[in-house]
């Protein structure tokens, strides 16, 4: 997996977002075969990122989220939404980013 996967919990369960490389237009992507999968375009967004490797369990997500928020406190940047986790790589070799 070379593009990020965003993972977060919701009231209805786990929500995952897969990001397609920018080199593909919407028209070039295959139509999903599962009705739960939606293809949407997102506007460009600026995010703050804290990169890490290792465990991606709930404790790690909490730890790195706190670290990112703390790092942003001493900058001019203001958090405008909840932090989210993006994961790359296979399940045995994950790298994560937290964006806020």
Digit-coded pLDDT (tens) for 22-31: 888 889 988 9
Q: Which residue has the tokens 């706190």?
A: 66
Determine the pLDDT at residue 92: 43
Q: 85 or 100: which carries more pLDDT confidence? A: 85
Query: Averaged over 62-80, what is the pLDDT?
Result: 90
Strand 84-88 to 49-53 pairing: unpaired
| pTM confidence score | 0.63
Q: 67 or 9: which carries more pLDDT confidence? A: 67
Number of H helices, E strands in the chain: 1, 5
Range of the domain at 37: 5-99
CA triple 42-61-67, angle to 5 deg: 95
Domain count, the chain: 1
């Amino acid at each position: 997996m070379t593009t990020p996967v965003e993972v977060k919990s919701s009231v209805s369960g786990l929500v995952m977002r897969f990001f397609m490389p920018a080199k593909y237009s919407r028209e070039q992507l295959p139509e999903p075969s599962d009705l739960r999968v939606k293809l949407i375009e997102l506007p460009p967004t600026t995010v703050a990122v804290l990169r890490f490797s290792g465990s991606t369990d709930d404790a790690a997500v909490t730890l790195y989220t706190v670290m990112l928020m703390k790092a942003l406190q001493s900058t001019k940047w203001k958090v405008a939404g909840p932090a989210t986790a993006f994961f790359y790589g296979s399940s045995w070799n994950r790298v994560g980013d937290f964006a806020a």
